[in-house]
Structure 1
Amino acid sequence: MSYSAVAQAAPVLVNFALTPFFVHRLGLERFGVWSLLLVFLATLTVLDGGVGASLARFHAVYGARGDTDGAGRLVVGSLAVFLGLGTVVTGVCFATAPHLVTLLNIPPHLRSEAQGLLLWLGPLLTLALASNSATALLQANAQFRRLAAVTVGSCLVYAVAVVLVIGQGGSLPALAAVTAGRYALLLTAGLCLGARHLSLRRPLLPGKPVRREFGGYALRMQLSGFTVFLNGEIDAFVIAAMLPVRYVGIYAAGYQVASALRSLPLYAFPPLLTRVTGVFARHGLAGAVREFHVLQRRWLPLTLAYGAVMVTAVWFAVRTWLGAGLALSGVVAAVLLVGYSLQVAFTGIRTCFVRAIGRPGLETRYGWFSTVVNLALTVPLALLLGVTGVVLATTIGLLAGTAYFVVLCRREAGLREQRLPGGWAAATGAAVVVTAVGELLVTRLGWHGVLPALLAGVPVLAGLATAAALGVAAPAGHLTALAEDGLKEEEEEADDTTKAG
């Protein structure tokens, strides 16, 4: 889990460190254009037909069977799909780039550079998706240490190259070329490190039964992924269409921070998903339900306390990071983080559960419910409150969808929510107070930049430590007892099966 966290955190930390450099060197308008390209890229990587989101599951199946030929065909097939997608996107960008930069309110003096930047979108998409394929191969075979090494290495090379290129007055297309280099390095190194888990034999592409099975699973994952796009990335398009382009940069900075803080608890998902899937495979639905309740009893109080502390600190931290002129980015981050924190707390383990038991359609249903609420509110709230209204609509949609998912899982699988441990409210309240006081003291120093932003993290650590010291989570002994009860039941079931045989 620790190596998995390092691999996922490295790109986030590099972007965190480079954002003030981008804003200072590029200017807010050029930074807004660069942010818009990243939004396009993030959107298209989600809308890949569900292929990227399905690779880890199928690589894990092949790894468990020792089927290196199947893994090799999966890699070749996925790379062929990604190359095709990149080619189509490149053709569309060639045809539409001049009209697109006008539609998105790009200032006239930046339109030529923005058109050149858009022509990099297709190659970037191919390399980004292909690097995800290499990442999935390493994750599925529990090669988290190697994954962490290659991810950290590629991020460090990228950071140095960005500083050199932008520091010498490089253009936005040059920055895109550096980004493409990072993805290419991650792809090459990842496949080399995972080479022993695959082999290339004719036929090189998966057979028809595998394509049918993979396509059905990928379609359901794509439907879920599309709601992620509509709930997150579409906000940037709405802002670009309705407000000056500088607000895209303001939104992008706040969205980046909120997404990064939401991701920290999610670093535990790969091993948790593997755990629940293994229990379901061995003991069926009853075992998976039992495992859900054991995990959720620990997950819920910890993630809720974490979210309360982060929401308290995020406005101060963003203001310290980017300066008072971009304090609105802190408001964006805080509003989004309210929705993200509650969503992760109540849907996190449920998402692992429904994927493990082969019912990702439940996740899709709640995602679309959230999306419909979000889309219904986005334009009215944008007209009323500007960029803050756009993210407020997203948060309301997330909360509505979360409540629906809880009800849906209870009705369909009998999952129930347990009460928070005694003393949780007092422990979390004390943590919030400690965090707020510390952030106020840091803000009074008047410092700005990456290092002062790291200093703003000290009150967060103090708040989390306060929550832990006051016992914010369920007692470990109680969880152990729950787990032991589950194991006893499983052993009894196994004995009964043996006797029946």
Structure 2
Amino acid sequence: MFGATGADLFTGVGYSAIAQAAPLLVNVALTPYLIRHLGLDRFGVWSLILLLLWTFTSLDGGVSASLARFYAFHGARGDRTGTGRLVLGSLALFTALGLLLSGLCVLLAPAASLLHIPPQLRGEAVEVLRFLGPLVTLALVTNSATSLLQANARFRGLAGVTLCSCAVYAAGVVLVIGHGGSLTALAAVTALRFVVLLAGGFVLAARHVAIHRPLLPPSRERRDFGGYALRMQLSGLTVFLNGEIDAFVIAAVLPIRFVGIYAAGLQAASAVRSLPLYAFPPILTRMTTGFARHGLPGAVREFHRLQSRWLPAVLAYGAVSTAAVVFAVPVWLGPGLRLSGVVAATLLAGYTVHVALTGMRTCLVRAIGRPGLETRYSWFATLVNTALTVPLALLFGVVGVVAATAVGLVAGSLYFVVLCGRVAELHRQPIPGRWVLAIALAVLVAVAGELPIVGTGWHGTVPFMLAGLPAAAGLSVAAILAVQGGGPR
């Protein structure tokens, strides 16, 4: 497990970032290629399939989101047998859920004809929907393997096996799409990526697992796990209601190509938002270990140590990224998808405040076994989002839908700050004035750098990467000014 040094945490965050960034970077690189070869309508169908895949894997009863915490508890105590029972129990549950979902997908696949899908694509859409059940099963089982590596601080191994799976996926997509393959073949390539990640993950984690009878966790642990997972699922359900349901609303009322437009903006915003989130697995492992060894004071001590750095850094990163993504997305996908850039910026503004305020608090409440607080603030955000969706949609269309999501996230984040203050004495850490000035200057530098790139008329993955340089320059300015003023590094 993690030692007490900052170097251990920094190394874990680095490898965790590689593991989580690799799939996002591959998708960023492949998206222009997919749009060009599939066409926007067909890409819209594929985007809907991927959103359904994410939705079904997140609605698993909260099991995936809970495994890392319980694996970490067993790992902190050196209980390899307890870990093995949890592995077998999760695999059995995921397999049962997958079989149930596979049957539902076969029955409901013909309903795809009710969506605004061009007639020539409806048969292919129905076919790939029937493939969705096995794909979700593989994704769920893979979550158990990756959670096991995270909980035991095996971030280097996780990064390696993730890179291998992404390389297999990228090569398969290029091969399949380049030869005119169907969306079902594309789904098979996605399944192959999960198989590589699953096999490699369990091989690397084998030394942390011992299998002895009884094969399943004892009833007390099942009750504890079930209660924790239920609260995590309630929180996860709000993530669906605050985000992915937007795509299904769009699919129900607009042509399928608008799902692709929305998905491209969501992908850009999610990719940018994810960079700070790469720190979550090692931080959660560290806080959980501190709680297991020293109780609530140990976890709170870690919170205060990290929050003073987390808050200003995430706000600076988010402000610059929000300003830059409006220009970067059309550079990435072409001027016809400027709306995707607006969608991305609107979502990213809400994500920035949300991640800055809730990031360390989320790790804290999960580590101390109080995920119900996360559930409460998530549902509050969902209620605000629901109340605003219809009026903002009537005023601003698709952008209004995502604006309601952003406002709901901000409101929920502020409520979460209040809730966490009632559980433990968490010191308020206001942002120094020098950080505000540094962030404002960084945004100006980023926007000024994006305008010449937009003026070149270049489009594609390479220009998109080039569009990241002004944002990097702006962040460098913010970091230099803040550090010179004595701010956190």
Return the TM-score normalized by structure 1: 0.92
Instruction: Give yes or no for the alignment of 1:352 onto 2:358.
Output: no
Matched residue SS, 2:457: coil
Give the structure 2 partner of residue 27 of structure 1: 39
Give the structure 2 partner of residue 495 of structure 1: none
| Displacement after TM superposition at 1:104 (Å) | 2.3
Q: Distance in 2 between matches of 1:56 and 1:284?
A: 18
Give the structure 1 partner of residue 6 of structure 2: none
Give the structure 1 partner of residue 17 of structure 2: 5
Instruction: Give yes or no for the alignment of 1:72 onto 2:84.
Output: yes
Matched residue SS, 2:467: helix
Q: Distance in 1 between matches of 2:77 and 2:426?
A: 31
Q: Distance in 2 between matches of 1:344 and 1:394?
A: 14
Instruction: Give yes or no for the alignment of 1:200 onto 2:211.
Output: yes
| Displacement after TM superposition at 1:373 (Å) | 1.1
Instruction: Give yes or no for the alignment of 1:220 onto 2:226.
Output: no
Return the letter of the residue paired with 1:298: R
| Displacement after TM superposition at 1:96 (Å) | 1.5
| Displacement after TM superposition at 1:150 (Å) | 0.3
Return the letter of the residue paired with 1:159: A
Which residue, 336, 344, 353 being the options, matches 1:333?
344
Return the letter of the residue paired with 1:22: L
Give the structure 1 partner of residue 279 of structure 2: 268
In structure 2, list runs of 5 or more residues that go unmatched.
1-12
- Contact 2:73–2:289 (8 Å) recurs in 1: no
Matched residue SS, 2:429: coil
Fraction of identical pairs, as percent:
66
| Displacement after TM superposition at 1:377 (Å) | 1.9
Which residue, 228, 247, 260 being the options, matches 1:249?
260
Q: 1:254 to 1:406 in 2, by over 3 A?
A: same
Which residue, 352, 377, 398 being the options, matches 1:366?
377
Superposed, which structure 2 residues align to 1:295-314 within 5 Å? 295-314=306-325
- Contact 1:3–1:148 (8 Å) recurs in 2: yes
Give the structure 1 partner of residue 7 of structure 2: none
Q: Distance in 2 between matches of 1:284 and 1:50?
A: 24
Which residue, 440, 463, 474 being the options, matches 1:463?
474
Return the letter of the residue paired with 2:462: L
| Displacement after TM superposition at 1:472 (Å) | 5.9
- Contact 1:424–1:473 (8 Å) recurs in 2: no
Give the structure 1 partner of residue 54 of structure 2: 42
Give the structure 2 partner of residue 59 of structure 1: 71
Superposed, which structure 2 residues align to 1:46-125 within 5 Å? 46-99=58-111, 101-125=112-136
- CA deviations 1:329-366 (Å, max 9, x no partner) are 00000000000000011111111121122211111100
Q: Distance in 2 between matches of 1:13 and 1:203?
A: 42
| Displacement after TM superposition at 1:28 (Å) | 0.4
Which residue, 23, 26, 29 being the options, matches 1:14?
26
Q: 1:247 to 1:61 in 2, by over 3 A?
A: same
Q: Distance in 1 between matches of 2:382 and 2:484?
A: 32
- Contact 1:298–1:474 (8 Å) recurs in 2: no
Q: Which range is displaced more, 353-362 or 450-459?
A: 353-362
Instruction: Give yes or no for the alignment of 1:164 onto 2:164.
Output: no
Q: Distance in 2 between matches of 1:137 and 1:409?
A: 28
Q: Which range is displaced more, 22-31 or 63-72?
A: 63-72
In structure 1, list runs of 5 or more residues that go unmatched.
480-501
Q: Distance in 2 between matches of 1:67 and 1:173?
A: 42
Matched residue SS, 2:482: coil
- CA deviations 1:305-336 (Å, max 9, x no partner) are 11110011001110100000001000000000
| Displacement after TM superposition at 1:204 (Å) | 2.4
Q: Distance in 1 between matches of 2:294 and 2:99?
A: 45
Q: Distance in 1 between matches of 2:254 and 2:391?
A: 14
| Displacement after TM superposition at 1:287 (Å) | 4.4
Return the letter of the residue paired with 1:176: A
- Contact 2:76–2:289 (8 Å) recurs in 1: no
Return the letter of the residue paired with 1:109: Q
- Contact 1:301–1:474 (8 Å) recurs in 2: no
| Displacement after TM superposition at 1:418 (Å) | 1.7
Q: Distance in 1 between matches of 2:203 and 2:368?
A: 32
Return the letter of the residue paired with 2:451: L
Instruction: Give yes or no for the alignment of 1:397 onto 2:408.
Output: yes
- Contact 2:378–2:412 (8 Å) recurs in 1: yes
- Contact 1:302–1:472 (8 Å) recurs in 2: no
- Contact 2:72–2:289 (8 Å) recurs in 1: no
Q: Distance in 1 between matches of 2:335 and 2:388?
A: 29
Return the letter of the residue paired with 1:222: Q
Return the letter of the residue paired with 2:102: T
Q: Distance in 2 between matches of 1:175 and 1:108?
A: 20
Q: Distance in 2 between matches of 1:127 and 1:279?
A: 33
Instruction: Give yes or no for the alignment of 1:376 onto 2:402.
Output: no
| Displacement after TM superposition at 1:22 (Å) | 0.7
| Displacement after TM superposition at 1:474 (Å) | 7.8
Matched residue SS, 1:320: helix
Q: Distance in 1 between matches of 2:400 and 2:484?
A: 34
Q: Which range is displaced more, 335-344 or 234-243?
A: 234-243
Which residue, 270, 274, 283 being the options, matches 1:259?
270
- CA deviations 1:72-92 (Å, max 9, x no partner) are 221121111111111111111
Return the letter of the residue paired with 1:18: L
Q: Distance in 2 between matches of 1:26 and 1:7?
A: 28
Q: 1:291 to 1:185 in 2, by over 3 A?
A: closer
Return the letter of the residue paired with 2:39: G
| Displacement after TM superposition at 1:297 (Å) | 1.5
Return the letter of the residue paired with 1:77: G
Q: 1:284 to 1:203 in 2, by over 3 A?
A: closer
- Contact 2:325–2:345 (8 Å) recurs in 1: yes
| Displacement after TM superposition at 1:279 (Å) | 3.3
- Contact 1:301–1:473 (8 Å) recurs in 2: no
- Contact 2:228–2:369 (8 Å) recurs in 1: no
Which residue, 265, 277, 280 being the options, matches 2:291?
280
Q: Distance in 1 between matches of 2:297 and 2:223?
A: 29
